[in-house]
Structure 1
Amino acid sequence: MLSLAFRRRWRWRRPVVWVARLLFLTSALWPLAGCQSPVKTSKTSETTAAEPVTVSVTPAQAQRRQQFIVAAGTIAALRRSAVAPGAPGRVTETPVAVGAFVEAGDVLLRLDDREACQRLEQARAALAQAEAAEAQLRARLIPGQEPFDPRKAPEAEAAQAELAAAEADAQLAAATFSRYERLARNNNVTRAQMDEARANVERAQASSRAARHRYDAIIRGLEAERAGLRAAISRVDEARAAVALAEKALDDTALRAPFAGQVAERFVNVGEYAAPDRPAMELVALEQLKLELQLPETDAARVRRGQEVEAATDAYPELVIRGRVTVIRPLVDAAARRLAVEVVAPNPERKLRPGMFVTARLLLGQTVLRVVAPKAAVRRHPALDAFTAFVVEGDRARLRVVQVGEAIGSDIEILSGVSEGEKVILSNLEKLNDGMPILYAR
């Protein structure tokens, strides 16, 4: 957790200010240094004669602390979308308000859908008509026959049998006529028999030709019906595509959430006109957010993707935001000398909001030894405008200017001013001055 003290500690790294403050503290404490002038001896005597202050003390301890890079930045939405309806129209309903949480697919607004409903009904009627025509043509053909062979149709097979019989009759008549011709050379048949045999051949050949014509006509008819079926199937496909388009047009009259999130803005109201080229709603996802951080260019070599990050915001001081570096911008801001990085962090309780300010630590995976003391031992001195602490020297309290670091629960890091093992005073600080006698509380 990043404390206010931690965020202010950088102010004490200005050498000129330090020199001025140390000179001021030295001049303020010089009368207590034990000079030999009568006036200073008198003041020392007064300090010696002061009543001891009862205090509680504890030794400053050394702890290993994680090294890190300090950065600051802003929370931003990881997924943010300005959504618009798929078709133009007049808004008839806005079922969700700004700030409402929605799931993916929830309706955000509805447009007037009367015309779209009528077009869908027309498309469905045309589809039903096309399907009926296809079924009628398909019923005349052999079901399930692929590829289609018109010769296997019942009427084609009957015509083919009739053609075969007619051709057989024609062949028989021709053979009979040939036999009669041979017999006629020896005058073994009469002229009347020859004429009858010739007439039988002509009749049989005519019947064969007629059977052939009928068979060919049936085949052509079946092929035409097959072509008609293909056309009918194409008309059915076109009708189904028209129904799909009409259904899409009807669905476009309802604007739905593309992902789960919260409604950030609504740009249209009931009765207004909405169009695909103008955003109607703005939606943000809050389950995951990104931290857009800025850090000094001098730390660029120590940043890497996947690096662990801990951050805090003043809105929720007790909340530790944890995430990892996902993006390191390739360019450094030449004016500010800052490098931008992005950190993805979970937000399961949806407490955090885009736009919040954060302070962050990019953990380096290395530790350093720090002196740690209770927060109660450190306070800000109004006259010195610095953090101070009282330490025990013998039986007296000595005022120290300290540089503080990160707060750790009830403790705080002391970067300078107090050493490991020195006893710091925790109570009655308001009653103490530098050099005052003390008693330990029991």
Structure 2
Amino acid sequence: MKRVITIILVVVVVLAAIGYVLNNNKKKAQETTDFIAKGSGAVAVKAANVERKEINLDFTANGTFAANQELNFSAENSGRVTKIFVEEGSRVSKGTVLARIDAEILNTDRETAEATYQNALKDLARHESAFKTGGVTQQKLDEVRLTAENAKLRLQQQQRKLNDANIRSSINGVVNKKLIEVGAVVAPGTQLFELVDVSKLKLKVNVNESQVANLKIGDAVEIQSSVFPTEKFSGKVTFIAAKADETLNFPIEVEVTNNVKNSLRAGMYGTALFKFPKQAPAILVPRTSFVGSVSSNEVYVLNTSKNVAELRKVVSGRILGESVEILSGLKEGETVITSGQINLTEGAPVTIIK
């Protein structure tokens, strides 16, 4: 019996709480309605004057520096590492010897290939002499000639492997990581060094659709780094994505020339300053003036003599931050409604909230 009474009390309390919440929401909704509709049925709205202003297309974008060239250097031959000539942090040029792999086996293979090639040349000479006197057929001579050619190719291959015993850098840069030690046995594909070239870097940033429309490959860009605020860096746009990413932004790459000290490093943050020539003044309205969205090309204009809203078709141009360029449909000095459009219809009386 007590349990039943407890359940009934709980249900009553819950119902009372729900009733209180609903009543409170109703009061808030009524307050909102009273705020929107003030005096004699007029809709409360906010408005802004249509003005002709100078357009500033300049903008900034933040991003991260990446190395212009980055190479994970791998072994091409098997063998034991006998010498290493660089350490992590060493600056190297293209062709610099980084390490040496034991060339004893490679030397043996090269000498064997040389001997095979010399024997093939002698054999070819004998068969060519015999062919002139009719001692061998053309088919046999062709077979011997092919054997000599294959022996020559094998010799060239072994010579290249022997040359590759000296591991040489293929780029100018810095040894970022050394992944081997003297005495280590490596196989083809074993990673040896990570080389990074920071004499030039790529600053990767994202821009929106209105910003990307003003960019082109080769545009000069000023670069700033918070780590080196007094240093001046310059760059140029080298890549503009043809497709927006999932956030509807467009990836951009700016090639940046480092200073003589190579102060900038891959992974640092940077800021790109995109600057454009001065633009002619244009008629601008707040982005919130449009009914629904900018693509609707509809705004409500205030008829100041009657204090009513009139729906107007316009042609929108560039979206410039929180403002939109108007190509036609509005005149300087008119007033557009910037909020409250959801409650408006053609000819609805309005009152302006300041």
Do both share a fold (TM > 0.5)? Answer: yes
Contact 1:307–1:363 at 8 Å: present in 2 too? Answer: no
Q: Highest relative contact order (Cα 8 Å, sep 6+), 1 or 2? A: 1
1:289-438 equivalences under 5 Å are 289-295=201-207, 299-329=211-241, 330-334=243-247, 339-347=250-258, 349=260, 350-366=262-278
Deviation string 1:392-411 (CA, Å, 9 cap, x unpaired) is: xxxxxxxxxxxxxxxxxxxx
Contact 1:84–1:280 at 8 Å: present in 2 too? Answer: yes
Q: Does 2:74 correspond to 1:81?
A: no
What SS does structure 2 have at the residue aligned with 1:319?
coil
Which residue is 2:181 aligned to?
269
1:213-252 equivalences under 5 Å are 222=134, 224=136, 226-252=138-164
Which residue is 1:428 aligned to?
none
Contiguous gaps of at least 5 residues in structure 1:
1-63, 143-152, 154-221, 370-442
Task: For residue 244 of structure 1, report the CA deviation from its aligned partner.
Answer: 1.7
State the one-letter code of the partner of 1:83. Answer: F
What SS does structure 1 have at the residue aligned with 2:275?
strand
Deviation string 1:235-281 (CA, Å, 9 cap, x unpaired) is: 21121122122223323433222222221111111112323333211
1:82-161 equivalences under 5 Å are 82-140=72-130, 142=132
Which residue is 2:293 aligned to?
none
Contiguous gaps of at least 5 residues in structure 2:
1-53, 282-354
State the one-letter code of the partner of 2:226. Answer: D
State the one-letter code of the partner of 1:234. Answer: L
1:58-73 equivalences under 5 Å are 68-73=58-63
| TM-score normalized by the length of structure 2 | 0.57
Contact 1:73–1:293 at 8 Å: present in 2 too? Answer: yes
Greater C-alpha Rg: 1
State the one-letter code of the partner of 1:302. Answer: N
Contact 1:98–1:264 at 8 Å: present in 2 too? Answer: yes
Task: For residue 103 of structure 1, report the CA deviation from its aligned partner.
Answer: 2.0
| TM-score normalized by the length of structure 1 | 0.46
2:91 & 2:165 partners in 1: Cα distance?
Answer: 21
Deviation string 1:40-88 (CA, Å, 9 cap, x unpaired) is: xxxxxxxxxxxxxxxxxxxxxxxx9985211111211111111101123
Deviation string 1:66-118 (CA, Å, 9 cap, x unpaired) is: 85211111211111111101123222111122222222222222222211110
Contact 1:85–1:253 at 8 Å: present in 2 too? Answer: no
Which residue is 2:167 aligned to?
255
1:122 & 1:301 partners in 2: Cα distance?
Answer: 64
Contact 2:67–2:198 at 8 Å: present in 1 too? Answer: yes
1:66 & 1:110 partners in 2: Cα distance?
Answer: 59
Contact 1:70–1:295 at 8 Å: present in 2 too? Answer: no
Contact 1:305–1:327 at 8 Å: present in 2 too? Answer: yes
1:77 & 1:223 partners in 2: Cα distance?
Answer: 66
What SS does structure 2 have at the residue aligned with 1:317?
coil
1:323/1:223 Cα in 2 relative to 1: closer, same or farther (>3 Å)? same
Contact 1:85–1:254 at 8 Å: present in 2 too? Answer: no
1:304 & 1:226 partners in 2: Cα distance?
Answer: 64
Higher helix share: 1
1:253 & 1:295 partners in 2: Cα distance?
Answer: 48
Count residues with an aligned counterpart: 226
Contact 1:84–1:275 at 8 Å: present in 2 too? Answer: no
Contact 1:130–1:236 at 8 Å: present in 2 too? Answer: yes
Decide which moves more: 84-93 or 116-125. Answer: 84-93
1:241 & 1:342 partners in 2: Cα distance?
Answer: 44
1:66/1:105 Cα in 2 relative to 1: closer, same or farther (>3 Å)? farther
State the one-letter code of the partner of 2:188. Answer: P
Contact 2:98–2:167 at 8 Å: present in 1 too? Answer: yes
Task: For residue 358 of structure 1, report the CA deviation from its aligned partner.
Answer: 1.3
State the one-letter code of the partner of 1:261. Answer: G
What SS does structure 2 have at the residue aligned with 1:366?
coil
State the one-letter code of the partner of 1:254. Answer: N
2:279 & 2:266 partners in 1: Cα distance?
Answer: 32
1:283 & 1:65 partners in 2: Cα distance?
Answer: 45
Q: CA RMSD in A?
A: 2.9
1:306 & 1:227 partners in 2: Cα distance?
Answer: 61
Which residue is 1:416 aligned to?
none
State the one-letter code of the partner of 1:281. Answer: F
Name which of 179, 184, 200 aligns with 1:288: 200
1:267 & 1:368 partners in 2: Cα distance?
Answer: 58
